[in-house]
Amino acid sequence: MCGIFGCLCEGAPSILLQGLKRLEYRGYDSVGIALINGKDLVVEKNKGKIDEFISGLDEARLKGEIGVGHTRWATHGAPSKENAHPHLDCSKRIAVVHNGVLENFLQIKEELVRRGHTFSSRTDSEVIPHLIEEYMNEGLTLKDALIKSMERVKGSAAIAVISTVEPNKIFCYRRESPLIVGIGDNGVFCASDIPAIMPYTRRVMVVPEDRLVILERGSIHVEDLKGVTYETEFTEITWDLELAEKGGYPHFMIKEIFEQPRAIRDTLKIPTVFLDKAARLMRGRIYLIGSGTSYHACLSTSYTASALIDMEMRPVISSEFADALLSLEDSTVIAVSQSGETADTLNAVKHAKSKGARIVGITNTLGSSITTLSDAYICTQSGPEIGVAATKTFLTQLVALDLLLLRLGLISGKLSEPEHDLITKELSNLPGMVEQILSRSNRVKDLALKYSTKENAFFLGRGANVATALEGALKLKEISYIHAEGYPAGESKHGPISLVEPNFLCVFIAPRDRTRDRIIGNIMEMKARGAEVFSVITEGDKELKEISDEYFEVPISSEILYPILCTVPLQLLAYYAATFRGFDPDKPRNLAKSVTVL
Ligand code: AGP
């Protein structure tokens, strides 16, 4: 996610830059500021890191007591000076910084271009200042033009707006993306999260959903888009900086696990035009390649492709791709990598390209190497993932790949419009279902305490949940150092079961899908050898409850959603087991967030 910061105070230029520095930990690829200096709007922005940005600034230009700043994590439009925020209107009177994902920006942009507006970026955010300008040209005040603009744009948005039209106010608005405001002795402040304004005030208010906030010297005014005003309710922040950077969570990993509903919600907003461009490349032999968790997304998707649109897509581990000597004639390679920089995957992509394959990239990092190597790419909307263990980026990979399969199914005729729309509707329920699971995280925490003394575990699933089993085992082993192995449940009797002795932990992913009845037999096999069985099951499945020693229920859903839903308790299990065993889940030994070596 991007980071926004605004201040109305003495020393605004340096406070603006310090505020952005405190947002750095969120991850970003470009940075910018805007200040009102008398009648002028001074804007400086560039791709790159804050320190090099600051070193290139002309301090003499940076004057004034009101400004906004932005650290950008690219979602639409690669990292570049033009795509960096703040974005301005044509008349250069309005500066906007935005954190979020606008769904309908393309049609708004086309309309504004028809009305004579010129755009300088490829971002979704730039439509906001031009829309405000358009409504002001129709005679609306800045505030009313902002309200009308935010009613028009769809999608998540936390914005801060300054203008030479009303040079003593910062206008903010919040929908889904986080926004904090604060008032201190020296001024008033707004930011994406608390660390940025902590040095200047600990009296803060988390802006409620769908509220317009107007910051003026010494006052903060809150109203909704209908003009109803609300009391400003401040709280005193007692956190230290480190805790504040994690949003009050003890580790980034657990914060990111709990961000998954928002990340999925934002990923579900990927414009169809980007999905269709990728879908139209997918013909001939189709391979899905990735490493680690990203490979698990490939494996899971290969099952979904067969079940949903009757298409065979072969999952291949990136480091094995070249050695597999696969035929790449008339082929398409879907390369999955949240960092977009994994050397094994980039190497496999280059090999495929050398044989003439078409490349579709699925990544969380716009501007990464994989996007430059791809003929088309889809960017998941997780926002930066700081924890080394992949969590929210895995779920949004599955969501993005499901969206891609749905579009491919429609375009190829494998799915009718009603079938496509029905499954799309089911996907829209996913954020709420994940929220339900997260609301019962203490149930998993109790189980993790119980299992934290284990030294071995099997994770077993069937069908697409073989991938879920592999992912659950990887999570547990990579951060708690319990030796966990994922297997197809049907494989148990071909060897693995020899390890099972009384109290050997077997985690079964056993939702009510087409494989449920067969997995019951596998559970009984393990129980007969004294295994301790923990099952992830569909709500209300009495039979599974009876045969499992412990269970965790996920909401009833269609089959396509179970690999996503069943992963969440396994992420929590790994996280809590690691903390109970005294390890730092964010920085597991021997691992890097992005493995850029072969
Ligand atoms: C997953 O928790 C690990 N951090 C690791 O397996 C990771 O998924 C793998 O290195 C691939 O990374 P990528 O998605 O950035 O390509």
Question: Is 594 a pocket residue for ligand 1 (Cβ < 6 Å)?
Answer: yes
The reported pLDDT for the residue numbered 14 is 95
The reported pLDDT for the residue numbered 551 is 98
**Same structural domain, 226 and 267:** no
Tokens of 583: 């390890």
Nearest CA to ligand 1 atom 8: 293
In a domain, 594, yes or no: no
**Same structural domain, 395 and 484:** no
Q: Which of 288, 316, 321, 339 to mutate to test the pocket of ligand 1 (most atoms within 8 A of CB)?
A: 339
Question: Is 292 a pocket residue for ligand 1 (Cβ < 6 Å)?
Answer: yes
Pick the closest to residue 532 from 458, 590, 584, 465 (CA basis). 458
**Same structural domain, 240 and 256:** no
Residue 110 one-letter amino acid: E
**Same structural domain, 370 and 465:** no
The CA 318 to ligand 1 mean position distance, Å, reads 11
Q: Which atom of ligand 1 has the smallest separation from the CA of 391?
A: 2
> In whole angstroms, what is the distance from residue 471 CA to residue 536 CA?
14
Question: Is 86 a pocket residue for ligand 1 (Cβ < 6 Å)?
Answer: no
In a domain, 172, yes or no: yes
CATH, residue 31: 3.60.20.10
What is the domain extent for residue 277? Answer: 249-428
The reported pLDDT for the residue numbered 250 is 94
**Same structural domain, 359 and 263:** yes
593 is catalytic: yes
Pick the closest to residue 298 from 384, 394, 375 (CA basis). 394
Q: Which atom of ligand 1 has the smallest separation from the CA of 291?
A: 11
> In whole angstroms, what is the distance from residue 569 CA to residue 165 CA?
51
Q: Which atom of ligand 1 has the smallest separation from the CA of 344?
A: 16
The CA 390 to ligand 1 mean position distance, Å, reads 6
**Same structural domain, 293 and 214:** no
Q: Which of 380, 406, 428 is the last residue of a domain?
A: 428
In a domain, 596, yes or no: no
**Same structural domain, 543 and 574:** yes
**Same structural domain, 422 and 454:** no
Between CA 171 and CA 178, with CA 175 as vertex, the angle to 5 degrees is: 85
In a domain, 598, yes or no: no
379 is catalytic: no
In a domain, 561, yes or no: yes
Q: Which of 230, 245, 260 is the last residue of a domain?
A: 245
Does residue 496 have a cis bond before it (omega within 30 degrees)? no
In a domain, 388, yes or no: yes
**Same structural domain, 216 and 363:** no
> In whole angstroms, what is the distance from residue 315 CA to residue 295 CA?
7
**Same structural domain, 236 and 357:** no
**Same structural domain, 235 and 278:** no
> In whole angstroms, what is the distance from residue 142 CA to residue 597 CA?
51
> In whole angstroms, what is the distance from residue 358 CA to residue 536 CA?
38
Nearest CA to ligand 1 atom 9: 292
Backbone angles phi, psi at 217, to 5 degrees: -55, 115
> In whole angstroms, what is the distance from residue 315 CA to residue 313 CA?
6
Question: Is 339 a pocket residue for ligand 1 (Cβ < 6 Å)?
Answer: yes
In a domain, 133, yes or no: yes
Measured between alpha carbons, how far apart are the two ends of the chain, in Å? 29
Q: What is the mean pLDDT of each run of 10 residues along the chain (598 residues)?
A: 92 95 85 95 96 92 96 87 97 96 94 98 96 98 98 95 98 92 96 89 92 96 94 84 82 96 94 94 97 98 97 98 93 96 94 97 90 94 90 98 98 96 96 98 98 98 98 98 97 93 97 96 95 98 98 96 98 98 92 78
DSSP 412-434: HTSS-HHHHHHHHHHHHTHHHHH
In a domain, 595, yes or no: no
Tokens of 473: 């085992």
**Structural domain tally of the chain?**
3
Q: Which atom of ligand 1 has the smallest separation from the CA of 290?
A: 16
Question: Is 368 a pocket residue for ligand 1 (Cβ < 6 Å)?
Answer: no
Query: Is the pTM of the predicted complex or chain greater than 0.85?
Result: no
**Same structural domain, 458 and 528:** yes
The reported pLDDT for the residue numbered 447 is 98
CATH, residue 480: 3.40.50.10490
Q: Which of 428, 454, 485 is the last residue of a domain?
A: 428
